[in-house]
């Protein structure tokens, strides 16, 4: 298959179902991916009709199940959509979630929601034109696990304390007036517990990550070389969060629909081995820009990958 490799990973053009079949069972620690969404309007990166979407996507869940380690996870970012010609939502993200668990045997470890504060006011018909609905700025991110005990450590994804919480840690005596006082929850207040600094706060399952990148090396090289970048990139902080929480160094991370290979970049930066697959050769070739230091090197590698097409015909 055409593609390229880095120190820690490989990106290849092909059908990820075919690639999964070649991998040993119990070899993948984490799959984190964002498949083409089921949209009503045609997109250049492809999509699947809503009435076929769940069956189509379940193929990948089924193929991945035996390839995951028992401690492994399958994280999938699914954008919702409205039903055709109607201002009501399609239920396919939830049907997919239920069937992954009921039919394929996955566990729903936790539901996450990715809020993109910079999302445009869409869908145009119901938001901009008719003004019947609020803009959609939240994607569902399902965290499936193979068993009920997946590898996970939230200490790797702690977030900075709020100013208020930092005050409590620095000056607990100002907030705990009497040791052992009962809180409304029934817990006893303790100066010792309030003064403990755990290195950060536990993050919520609402991930607020802006998708407003406009000047990354990937986009700069695409622009300079006249190559159309992938139109549906997700921000590197999204796969980064799950890679940090659900894997250790040298674990294997896979992306089944890699697009511009944001997942591969995040895994490489975090010292994880990775494998990314996309059906579109041009997207695979341009994703090498994420690992290049200058535009000449980027152009050379892009054309070398595109030339591989002739070898696999």
Catalytic residues: 34-35, 77
Residues 275 and 3: beta-carbon distance below 8 Å = no
Residues 91 and 50: beta-carbon distance below 8 Å = no
What residues are paired with 113 via a beta bridge? Answer: 140, 206
Name the helix (H) or strand (E) containing 32: strand 28-33
Distances (CA, A) of 175 to 135, 191, 199: 41, 8, 20
Residues 207 and 241: beta-carbon distance below 8 Å = yes
Report residue 115 as tokens: 């809020």
Among 72, 114, 74, 70, residue whose Cα is nearest residue 96: 74
Helices first, then strands: H and E counts in the chain? 11, 9
Residues 76 and 115: beta-carbon distance below 8 Å = no
The Cα 280–Cα 259 span in angstroms is 8
Q: How many CB atoms lie within 10 A of CB 11?
A: 29
SS (H, E, C) 124-136: HHHHHHCCCCCCC
The Cα 81–Cα 119 span in angstroms is 14
Name the helix (H) or strand (E) containing 259: none
User: For strand 138-145 and strand 68-78, is the pairing parallel, antiparallel, or unpaired?
Assistant: antiparallel
**Cis omega (within 30 of 0) for bond into 173:** no
Residue 294 neighbours by CB under 8 Å, 6+ apart: none
């Amino acid at each position: 298959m055409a593609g390229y490799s880095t120190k820690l990973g490989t990106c290849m053009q092909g059908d990820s179902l075919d690639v999964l079949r070649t991998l040993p069972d119990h070899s993948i620690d984490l799959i984190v991916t964002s498949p083409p969404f089921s949209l009503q309007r045609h997109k250049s990166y492809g999509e699947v009709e809503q009435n076929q979407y769940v069956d189509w996507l379940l193929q990948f869940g089924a193929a991945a199940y035996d390839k995951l380690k028992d401690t492994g996870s399958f994280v999938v970012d699914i954008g919702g959509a409205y039903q055709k010609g109607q201002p009501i939502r399609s239920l396919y993200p939830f049907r997919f979630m239920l069937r992954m668990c009921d039919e394929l045997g996955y566990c729903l470890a936790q539901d996450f929601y990715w809020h993109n504060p910079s999302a445009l006011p869409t869908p145009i018909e119901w938001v901009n034109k008719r003004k019947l609905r609020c803009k959609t700025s939240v994607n569902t991110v399902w965290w499936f696990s193979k068993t009920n005990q997946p590898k996970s450590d939230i200490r790797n994804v702690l977030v900075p304390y709020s100013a208020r919480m930092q005050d409590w840690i620095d000056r607990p005596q100002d907030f705990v007036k009497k040791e052992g006082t009962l809180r409304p929850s029934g817990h006893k207040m303790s100066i010792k517990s309030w003064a403990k600094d755990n290195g950060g706060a536990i993050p919520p399952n609402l991930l607020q990550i802006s998708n407003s990148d406009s000047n990354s090396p990937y986009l700069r090289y695409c622009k300079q070389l006249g190559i159309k970048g992938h139109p549906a990139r997700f921000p590197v902080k999204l796969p980064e969060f799950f890679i940090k929480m659900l894997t250790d160094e040298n674990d294997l991370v896979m992306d089944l629909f890699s697009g511009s290979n944001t997942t591969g970049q995040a895994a490489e930066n975090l010292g994880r081995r990775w494998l990314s697959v996309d059906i579109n050769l041009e997207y695979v070739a341009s994703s090498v820009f994420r690992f290049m230091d200058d535009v000449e090197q980027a152009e050379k590698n892009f054309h070398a990958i595109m030339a591989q097409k002739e070898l696999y015909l």
